[in-house]
């Protein structure tokens, strides 16, 4: 009894091409493919579908071809310039201090000049930076339009009746 | 098996890349019988083959825009099919059952079938259907890589050069795998002929 040789094995193997799927399989295969594709699409999260659409439109516009090396370098330089301008920009000076000194200069009187005839009001004294800032802040409120109120106006100097000569 | 015309494939691929779904459908219709045969002869199971073939085309559809035409579409789609099937077989391991033993009726008119059954040969001495069953079992005893080479060369009729491109190995490796696989199959079938009950 002879053994199988390579040729016979080859012929036997070639007969395997007659092992076919059930009739009508290939006719239905495409429909099944479409059905599975649809199901897969429905299972995908919305962000993924959106991303796909976006990337498709990106490629359709051939934007990648525009992103050549010089264009990329230019874009990077522009971004760097904008960022560096933001970073190295000098900080804004304190607007309140500037405004009070420019808009409402305060006359300062030496302490020796205090007399009863020229009563010293808060507005005419040098109040220092802290107090002047408060005044300045009040200047931005509704009281800015009203005449300044002086503390001494509200408090009598003495509760004794004034002498009438 | 003749290799399909590449210029026709190129036109379909270009249309599919431009978003024409009907062009991709044409490629599916054209290549599904051929790929079915290849995958089936690697898995020996109809259900697995069906699922695998669907996955192959789904992957190809997703990747078609990235296909740059460095190889033909024929080589590209076969590479996807072989790689996916090899991965699947490695995961599946030895858990399989043979199916699709029914042979198409047109085999009776095949020249090689007539030759095999009419002339004096060991094939004639054995029951052909039983021999085919044994052959399928023997195929499953080969490693996945050897089975892939046998399926592509003997059953699909691909030349060595094409197989080497698809598998990404040298032609020498393809020939060597084929030689080793033939010896293995010969041993299994001789064993069956000497001991038909086993």
Three-class secondary structure of residue B103 per DSSP: strand
CB B6 within 8 A of CB B72: yes
Residue B82: CB atoms within 10 A of its CB come to 25
Q: Give the count of Cβ contacts less than 8 A between chain A and B.
A: 109
Instruction: Give the Cα separation of B156 and A58 in Å (integer).
Output: 40
Q: Are residues B115 and B146 in the same domain?
A: yes
- Chain A hits for B123, CB-CB cut-off 8 Å, are 4, 8, 11-12
Chain-chain contact of B190 with A3 (C-beta, under 8 angstroms): yes
Given a cut of 80, is residue A74 above it in pLDDT? yes
| ipTM attached to this prediction | 0.77
Q: Are residues B176 and B112 in the same domain?
A: yes
pLDDT in tens, A9-48: 888 888 888 888 888 899 899 999 999 989 888 887 778 7
Average pLDDT (B123-136) is 71
CA dist list (Å): A150 to A50, A97, A120, A153, A158: 68, 22, 10, 5, 17
Given a cut of 80, is residue A125 above it in pLDDT? no
Q: Are residues B190 and B110 in the same domain?
A: yes
Q: Is A2 domain-assigned? A: no
Instruction: Give the Cα separation of B93 and B82 in Å (integer).
Output: 16
| Domain span including residue A73 | 21-88
CA dist list (Å): B185 to A74, A115, B58, B96: 65, 127, 34, 19
Last residue of a domain, one of B92, B117, B152: B92
Chain-chain contact of B189 with A4 (C-beta, under 8 angstroms): yes
Q: How far is B174 from chain A (nearest CA, A)?
A: 16
pLDDT in tens, B38-90: 999 999 888 999 999 999 999 999 999 999 888 999 999 999 999 999 999 98
Return the minimum-mean-pLDDT range out of A147-156, B21-30, B165-174, B184-193: A147-156
Q: Are residues A25 and A40 in the same domain?
A: yes
Q: Are residues B153 and B88 in the same domain?
A: no
Q: Are residues A79 and A33 in the same domain?
A: yes
- φ, ψ for residue A23 (rounded to 5)? -60, 140
Q: What is the pTM of this model?
A: 0.62
CB B167 within 8 A of CB B174: yes
CA dist list (Å): B7 to A58, A74, B4, B180: 28, 41, 9, 36
**CATH number of the CATH domain containing B30:** 1.10.1740.10
Q: Give helix A6-14 / helix B128-141 axis angle, nearest 10°.
A: 100
Residue B100 — very low, low, confident or very high, per pLDDT cuts 50/70/90? very low
Q: Are residues A82 and A99 in the same domain?
A: no
Q: How far is A18 from chain B (nearest CA, A)?
A: 5
């Amino acid at each position: 009894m002879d053994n199988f040789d390579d040729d016979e094995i080859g012929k036997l193997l070639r007969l395997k091409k007659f092992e076919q799927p059930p009739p009508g399989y290939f006719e239905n295969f495409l429909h099944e493919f479409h059905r599975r594709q649809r199901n897969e699409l429905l299972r995908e999260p919305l962000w993924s579908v959106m991303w796909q659409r976006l990337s498709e439109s990106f490629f359709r516009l051939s934007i990648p071809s525009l992103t050549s090396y010089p264009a990329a370098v230019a874009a990077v330089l522009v971004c760097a310039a904008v960022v560096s301008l933001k970073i190295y920009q000098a900080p804004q000076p304190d607007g309140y201090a500037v405004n009070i000194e420019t808009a409402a200069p305060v006359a300062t009187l030496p302490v020796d000049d205090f007399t009863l005839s020229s009563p010293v009001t808060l507005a005419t004294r040098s109040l220092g930076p802290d107090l002047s800032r408060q005044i300045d802040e009040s200047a931005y409120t509704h009281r800015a339009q009203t005449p300044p109120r002086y503390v001494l106006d509200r408090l009598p100097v003495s509760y004794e009746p004034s002498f009438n000569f | 098996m003749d290799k399909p015309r590449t210029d026709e494939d190129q036109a379909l691929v270009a249309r599919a890349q431009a978003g024409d779904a009907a062009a991709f459908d044409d490629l599916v219709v054209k290549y599904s019988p051929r790929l079915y045969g290849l995958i089936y002869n690697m898995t020996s199971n109809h259900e697995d083959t069906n699922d695998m073939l669907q996955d192959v085309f789904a992957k190809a559809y997703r990747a078609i825009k990235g296909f740059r035409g460095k190889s033909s579409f024929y080589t590209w789609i076969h590479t996807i099919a072989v790689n996916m099937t090899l991965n699947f077989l490695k995961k599946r391991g030895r858990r399989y059952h043979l199916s699709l033993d029914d042979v198409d009726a047109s085999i009776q008119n095949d020249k090689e079938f007539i030759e095999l059954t009419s002339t004096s040969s060991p094939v004639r001495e054995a029951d052909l259907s039983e021999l085919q069953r044994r052959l399928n079992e023997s195929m499953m005893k080969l490693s996945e890589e050897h089975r892939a080479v046998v399926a592509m060369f003997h059953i699909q009729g691909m030349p060595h050069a094409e197989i080497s491109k698809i598998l990404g190995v040298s032609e020498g490796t393809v020939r060597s795998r084929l030689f080793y696989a033939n010896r293995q199959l010969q041993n299994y079938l001789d064993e069956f002929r000497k001991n038909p009950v086993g």
